[in-house]
Structures are given as C-alpha cells and as structure tokens.
Structure 1
Amino acid sequence: MSKKDRFEVIYQETGLKSEKTILVDKETGINYLFIANGFAGGLTPLLDENGKPVITK
C-alpha cells in the first residue's frame, strides 16, 4: 500500500471558510477529525465515551 492510499475520507463538510473531514487510517482503523478554518487547522483522533480511539474495522 502506498502512503497515498493509507487514509480514506469517510465524511466531509465544507463551509465558506471552514472544512470538517473525518479520515480513517486503513492500516490501524483509527478515525481522525481534521478541521480547517481560514489559515488554521488541526487534526485529532476521534475518541469514544471512554476516551479510547474510534476504530473502524
């Protein structure tokens, strides 16, 4: 698997200046939330109610 194919976008919501994207790492199954707003952005793993990463099988 090439690095280009490692992440899959499963949800994307765009606004005028903002973007919310949920990505899944195909190797680990961990879901990540990426938010971009203007020139700023951030990436974090999605966590369940117990504080553990959300994993897609």
Structure 2
Amino acid sequence: MAKKKDERFLKVHEEGNGFGWMRTVWVDKQTGVNYLFVNSGYAGGMTVLLGTDGKPVVTPVPNTYADD
C-alpha cells in the first residue's frame, strides 16, 4: 500500500545555474521556520535560514496548512 506523500514542507524559492548547484528555500508548514537547502553535484546540506539579526526566519503559517 502506498503511503501519503509527506507535504509538511513547502518550496518557496529556488535558484541555480543548471550545472550542478541549486539553492532552495523551504518553509515548515507546522512551525513557519525557513530552511536553506544547497546542493552541488553529489553533495548537499540543509540548515535553518537566519536573518540579519541571527535569528531563524519565520514565515507566518496560514490556517489552510493546518488542514493538510
């Protein structure tokens, strides 16, 4: 039996050069915390996206996400 796809995270921004590297910003729909994912070739990593004040960037979570 197939499991339901986990849709907790929402991709809000993506950029790259098409030659092996990509930067993507994801938002956790439950907490609103933003994450930065960077990959290059076969390597990659994800971290909390920080603002200029050094605190995590938090996006307000709409009520519509709670129904997902």
Q: Which residue of 1 aligns with 2:10?
A: 8
Q: TM-score scaled to structure 1, two decimals? A: 0.88
Instruction: Give me the CA root mean square deviation.
Output: 1.4
> How far, CA to CA, are the matches of 2:58 and 2:12 in structure 1?
13
1:44 aligns with 2:47: yes
* Partner SS, residue 12 of structure 1: strand
Note the C-alpha offset of 1:3: 6.4
Identity %: 46
Q: Deviations over 1:5-47 (max 9, x none)?
A: 1000000112211011000000010000000001110101111
Equivalences, count: 56
Which protein has the larger Cα radius of gyration, Structure 1 or Structure 2? 2
5+ unaligned residues in a row in structure 1: which ranges? none
> How far, CA to CA, are the matches of 1:37 and 1:22 in structure 2?
15
Q: TM-score scaled to structure 2, two decimals? A: 0.75
* Partner SS, residue 6 of structure 2: helix
> How far, CA to CA, are the matches of 1:9 and 1:24 in structure 2?
7
